[in-house]
Chains A and B, each alone.
Chain A
Amino acid sequence: DAGVIQSPRHEVTEMGQEVTLRCKPISGHDYLFWYRQTMMRGLELLIYFNNNVPIDDSGMPEDRFSAKMPNASFSTLKIQPSEPRDSAVYFCASRSDRTEQFFGPGTRLTVL
């Protein structure tokens, strides 16, 4: 298996633009997690899904952030409109009941 796949790996955009981050979990994993990592706030859980259903979105900063999981092999995290304070590394992770949690390589987002 290729592991958790994220795209793009780097994204530079201007304030006010829409940003879409993408994730493909490991096949067979029924949990998917979105994290944000910054120096100031560390590794924060934004939202997680089980069997494509959002379970806990209490970590989503505000209404500008939204996440979807239309099927078992794909999830998106969207920021609209983006702001400079959204600059961070966004990680997707997946696991099953029988495995550890595996992280993707991350997307480094810079909002100018």
Chain B
Amino acid sequence: GENVEQHPSTLSVQEGDSAVIKCTYSDSASNYFPWYKQELGKRPQLIIDIRSNVGEKKDQRIAVTLNKTAKHFSLHITETQPEDSAVYFCAIGNEKLTFGTGTRLTIIP
């Protein structure tokens, strides 16, 4: 079945610095790679996604890069702000999603 490894499990960065979270996967059939943000006590919410025919996608301070050959994709958050503190999940799939184990990101003011 699908397997997604997500690193690091925890990440602390100074406000204003960049944060990078990486996921590797084994299922080469996956074509959809979303990232979800989950604040404490809330539901996961999509922040950005990418499909396999695209190598990079950017939305303001957030970007995702995909390397299908190496089977890894990464989330990049620039100019981090305190409200970026949350748990971030990567996922892979087509019809259904398999989620990574999550990264707890803490922004230090």
Real binding pair? yes
Q: Kindly name the residue among A91, A101, A104 whose own CB sees the greatest number of chain B CB atoms within 10 A.
A: A101
Query: Across the two chains, which residue of chain A brings its CB closest to B45?
Result: A103
B61 at the interface (CB under 8 A from A): no
Q: How many angstroms between the C-alpha atoms of A55 and B89 in the bound complex?
A: 24
Per-residue contact bits, chain B 37-56, to A (CB 8 Å; 1 contact, 0 not): 00000111110010000000
Tally of B interface residues using CB under 8 Å: 16
Q: Specify which chain A residues have a CB less than 8 angstroms from the CB of B43 in the assembled complex.
A: 91, 103-106
- Which range contains the number of A residues in contact with the other chain? 10 to 19
Query: Across the two chains, which residue of chain A brings its CB closest to B2?
Result: A45
In angstroms, how far is the closest chain B Cβ from the Cβ of A104?
7
Q: Specify which chain B residues have a CB less than 8 angstroms from the CB of A104 in the assembled complex.
A: 43
- Known: A42-B102, A100-B34. Contact between A91 and B44, CB under 8 A? yes
Give A residues with C-beta under 8 Å from B.
31, 33, 42-43, 45, 48, 50, 55-56, 91, 100-106
